A and B are shown apart, each in its own frame.
Chain A
Amino acid sequence: MRSKSTSRGERDLVEEVEAGMQSFVGVLAVLAVALLGIGTLYAVARLTAVAPDPVRSLPFLSGHDPLEHALSRFHVRWYPVTLIFLAFDVEMLFMYPWAVVVAQMGSGAVIEMFVFLGVLLAGVAWAWREGALRWV
Chain B
Amino acid sequence: MGLNELLGRWAVRRAHVLVIEVPGAAGVRMAVERGLTARSWVQATSPAEADVLAVCGSAGPRMSVVIAAVWDQMPGPRTRVDVVGSAGVPAALNAAAVALLDSDAQRSDATSRLGSWTDTDDERDAGDENDDDHQRDESNGNDGNDGNDGEASHGDMDIGEDHGHMDMGEDHGDMAMDMPMPGGIGLAEGGQDRDGLEMDVLHVPLGPVLPHWPPGLVLTCTLQGDVVVQATAEIVDPVAGRGLPVTGDARRDVLVDRCDDVARLLAVAGWGSAAAQARQLRDDALDGVALPVCAAGVARLTRRVTRSRVLGWSLRGLCTATRAPGQDSSAAGSDVLAVELPDRLRGWLEEAAAAAAAPTGSLAGVGLTDVAFTDAIPPVALPQLVTGLDLAAVRLIVAGTGVVADLTASAAGARARWRRTW
Q: Contacts of A48 on B, CB cut-off 8 Å? A: 1, 3-4, 7
- Chain B residue, CB-CB nearest to A64: B205
- Chain A residue, CB-CB nearest to B181: A69
A50 at the interface (CB under 8 A from B): yes
Interface residues in A83-105 (C-beta closer than 8 Å to B) = none
**Chain A: minimal CB distance from B182 (Å):** 7
**Does A68 lie within 8 Å of B185, measured CB to CB?**
yes
- Chain A residue, CB-CB nearest to B4: A48
B109-132: CB near A (< 8 Å → 1, else 0) gives: 111010111100000000001011
**Chain A: minimal CB distance from B329 (Å):** 20
A63 at the interface (CB under 8 A from B): yes
B90 at the interface (CB under 8 A from A): no
Which of A5-13, A31-39, A70-78, A111-119 makes up part of the contact surface? A70-78
**In the bound complex, what is the Cα–Cα distance between A50 and B77 (angstroms)?**
7
- Chain A residue, CB-CB nearest to B198: A73
A15 at the interface (CB under 8 A from B): no
- Chain B residue, CB-CB nearest to A52: B131
**Does B210 lie within 8 Å of A58, measured CB to CB?**
no
B401 at the interface (CB under 8 A from A): no
Q: Contacts of B106 on A, CB cut-off 8 Å? A: 50
Also in contact, A53 and B185, with CB within 8 A (given A58-B117, A75-B193):
no
Q: Contacts of A55 on B, CB cut-off 8 Å? A: 75-76, 110, 113, 115
Which of B62-70, B334-342, B371-379, B410-418 makes up part of the contact surface? B62-70
Q: Contacts of A62 on B, CB cut-off 8 Å? A: 66, 205-210, 213, 218
**In the bound complex, what is the Cα–Cα distance between A51 and B131 (angstroms)?**
11
B137 at the interface (CB under 8 A from A): no
A68 CB contact (under 8 Å) in B187, B193, B393 = B187
Main secondary structure of the interface of B (DSSP, over half): mixed
Interface residues in B163-221 (C-beta closer than 8 Å to A) = 171-172, 181-182, 185-190, 193, 197, 199-200, 202-210, 213, 218
**Chain B: minimal CB distance from A84 (Å):** 17
Q: Contacts of B151 on A, CB cut-off 8 Å? A: 64-65
**Does B193 lie within 8 Å of A69, measured CB to CB?**
no
B234-260: CB near A (< 8 Å → 1, else 0) gives: 000000000000000000000000000
Q: Contacts of A58 on B, CB cut-off 8 Å? A: 69, 72-73, 116-117, 153-154
Also in contact, A73 and B200, with CB within 8 A (given A53-B129, A65-B153, A68-B187):
yes
**Chain A: minimal CB distance from B388 (Å):** 9
A27-51: CB near B (< 8 Å → 1, else 0) gives: 0000000000000000000011011
**In the bound complex, what is the Cα–Cα distance between A136 and B316 (angstroms)?**
13
**Does B208 lie within 8 Å of A70, measured CB to CB?**
no
**In the bound complex, what is the Cα–Cα distance between A55 and B193 (angstroms)?**
37
- Chain A residue, CB-CB nearest to B153: A58
Q: Contacts of B31 on A, CB cut-off 8 Å? A: none
B141 at the interface (CB under 8 A from A): no
B43 at the interface (CB under 8 A from A): no
Q: Contacts of B4 on A, CB cut-off 8 Å? A: 48, 50
Q: What residues make up the interface of A, taking CB atoms closer than 8 Å to B?
A: 47-48, 50-51, 53, 55-58, 60-77, 136
Cβ-closest 10 pairs across A and B: A56-B115, A75-B225, A63-B66, A72-B188, A51-B110, A72-B200, A75-B199, A63-B209, A73-B200, A64-B205
Question: Apart from A48-B7, A65-B69, what are 7 other A-B pairs with CB-CB below 8 Å?
Answer: A56-B155, A61-B205, A63-B65, A63-B69, A68-B188, A70-B202, A72-B187
